[in-house]
Structure 1
Amino acid sequence: MNTKECPSCAMEVDADSKTCPICQYEFAETKTSYKWIAIILAVIMLLYLVVF
Structure 2
Amino acid sequence: MKTKECPSCAMEVAVKSKVCPICQYEFSEISTGYKWIAILLIIVMLLYLLT
TM > 0.5 between the two?
Answer: yes
Runs (5+) with no aligned partner, structure 1:
none
Q: Give the match for residue 5 of structure 2.
A: 5
Deviations 1:9-41 (A, max 9, x none): 100000000000011110111111112223444
Aligned partner of residue 13 in structure 1, secondary structure: strand
The sequence identity of aligned pairs, in percent, is 71
Displacement of 1:3: 0.6
Aligned partner of residue 29 in structure 2, secondary structure: coil
Runs (5+) with no aligned partner, structure 2:
none
In the superposition, the TM-score normalised over structure 2's length comes to 0.69
Q: Structure 1 residue runs of 4+, over 2 Å off?
A: 38-45
2: CA distance between counterparts of 1:9 and 1:31? 24
Aligned partner of residue 37 in structure 2, secondary structure: helix
* Amino acid in the other structure paired with 1:12: E
Displacement of 1:43: 6.4
Greater radius of gyration (CA): 1
